[in-house]
Structure 1
């Protein structure tokens, strides 16, 4: 166990910045044109308004920006956050109505190539939109597995830990005991809140039979730090939060939950497939909060154990994670760790 103070500072391992007004305008124009491929709906308008409100520091008239024709959307996306913002908003448009619609995926691909921000997951969504759900979903799952770590060795170890633990081929009683001991810490400390996260969700601790390995703990830590629950609405918010801070395959965790809980495509057999779990305001706010986080919380990049005895509230300040600005989403937040 580490000291209560933890390291004296938290390095900016993921030096993100918020998108500029120009970045947001380009992203909104791209998103609107994706939506216009089969008609802008009230849901699309809610997403566009939420993007303007929670991502732009300056006031933007999204209706005026949305009037730009697709062939007039051109910009030099000079930063990672600009590319990430465009892809994030176009993904929102793709999933706005639940099902992955072919015209919207095709429009996203065209715009992404024009802006120089094409990512492979758009090709996976194209397969899904064309009816090849299994192929597209398996490719997204592969991207998810490769995102659990910052090096190939960590990814391979995580995959082995995942399979061997889940199949019951290996257990680690010492490791499991270290997680059980977190329950002895004072409420409010990161370690104690992580323990509570496992207990309230009836999850097995790493090292126990049938678990998915320790590599997944960074995802659970992100749930605690963001205060987003493991209910469908909370998982989508956590996925959007992750896109903001994650360096390696940032969209993979988000796509998994969007397919499972927004599009009704069963990716994880342990969870029920649902539709319509995306809350526009919470979704955009979660992305912004992730962008403001000054560290990549991924396994192998940020070691939560160094901060196990640091209060969650203090850690949020040190990591620059702002409070939730959007109205609370029913079932989406952990009131205990707000």
Structure 2
């Protein structure tokens, strides 16, 4: 479980989530809200999912009075921010209530301003900030000029192909089938992806850690798979996890907000149990494979299952993959 807090604290967090769900006051708790709270109770807090139905709503000061540590308070506000979006749209009233909880807990992370901008109708400005934060969170990605051309940093080989780099990635297919490197190669080939260095390939500094996360976690490249793998990365990699990873995929694959020409957009792909499981698995990782010091090439010859075990990646039931 992600938050290891005592029952009074988890009661307060679940009560705050219920308050977000009831922000309008008239419609009760929608099915998706109830499912989200129940899955969060079980996966994030280690509670019986049925506890979600017995919790009373909490006010911001009541959550603050629960005396969460600074880190737990930050996590709690992130849960509330997700809760405000599961209905499939930006709700100004819910967003304002999330901010009240954040203020009470002393949380001032940048994703809160992105939510506020979106709720105020400044969607283009919020989307530009999300794309920039996402790019900046990949330390090996060159982001110069991203404010003038949000796509250019992700497509550096269009005008400067690197045949030697492409060949190095293509050679991974010669490794034994059980290795991580071979699985990475097959991931690209089976999906028809161009390797880094190819004019149609994505920047190595982005695609290598991103697609390595797909291979290690087992999440597919479907809409739900992308939502889960980015949530996994956000929990694993501490650089602006909400603004750079979780919000982008919720905006893209649940709210249908078009961020750029690389990321697609659709609605309704949030699924609570898979989402919180992806968050939990990413948080459990002992090795951050987006970090600049991660040695991709050194990992390529390692048995895939041995690598997963070495990184403390929790196994997952097939029905919770995407």
Indicate the TM-score class for this superposition, using the shorter chain for normalisation.
0.7 to 0.9
1:254 to 219, 234, 246: 246
Post-superposition offset of 1:269? 2.0
User: Could you say what secondary structure the match of 2:320 adopts?
Assistant: coil
Paired with 2:299 and 2:12, the residues of 1 have a C-alpha distance of: 38
Q: How many residues end up aligned between the 2 structures?
A: 309
2:39 to 50, 53, 63: 50
Report the CA distance shift for 1:71/1:299 in structure 2 as closer, same or farther (over 3 A).
closer
Match of 2:175 in 1: 185
Paired with 2:318 and 2:102, the residues of 1 have a C-alpha distance of: 28
Q: Which one is further off, 160-169 or 235-244?
A: 160-169
Paired with 1:69 and 1:58, the residues of 2 have a C-alpha distance of: 21
Paired with 1:239 and 1:66, the residues of 2 have a C-alpha distance of: 32
TM-score, length-scaled by structure 1: 0.84
Paired with 2:190 and 2:176, the residues of 1 have a C-alpha distance of: 17
Match of 1:328 in 2: 320
Paired with 1:106 and 1:97, the residues of 2 have a C-alpha distance of: 15
Match of 2:75 in 1: 85
User: Could you say what secondary structure the match of 1:274 adopts?
Assistant: coil
Gaps of 5+ in 2: none
Paired with 2:183 and 2:162, the residues of 1 have a C-alpha distance of: 22
Paired with 2:169 and 2:248, the residues of 1 have a C-alpha distance of: 27
The reply to whether residue 105 of structure 1 matches residue 95 of structure 2 is yes
Post-superposition offset of 1:27? 3.3
Residues 223-234 of structure 1 correspond to what in structure 2 (within 5 A)? 223-234=214-225
2:190 to 197, 200, 224: 200
Match of 1:141 in 2: 131
Match of 2:285 in 1: 293
Gaps of 5+ in 1: 1-16, 333-338
Paired with 1:163 and 1:155, the residues of 2 have a C-alpha distance of: 7
Report the CA distance shift for 1:190/1:120 in structure 2 as closer, same or farther (over 3 A).
same
Paired with 1:21 and 1:128, the residues of 2 have a C-alpha distance of: 32
Paired with 2:278 and 2:20, the residues of 1 have a C-alpha distance of: 22
Report the CA distance shift for 1:257/1:157 in structure 2 as closer, same or farther (over 3 A).
closer
Q: CA RMSD in A?
A: 2.4
More RCO (CA 8 Å, sep 6+): 1
1:34 to 6, 9, 20: 20
1:29-60: CA deviation from partner (whole Å, max 9, x where unpaired):
33222222125311100000001111223547
Post-superposition offset of 1:212? 2.6
1:146-174: CA deviation from partner (whole Å, max 9, x where unpaired):
1011xxxx454687895384462212111
2:305 to 285, 300, 313: 313
Q: Which one is further off, 59-68 or 242-251?
A: 59-68
- Is contact 2:41-2:52 (8 Å) kept? yes
- Is contact 2:12-2:58 (8 Å) kept? no
TM-score, length-scaled by structure 2: 0.87
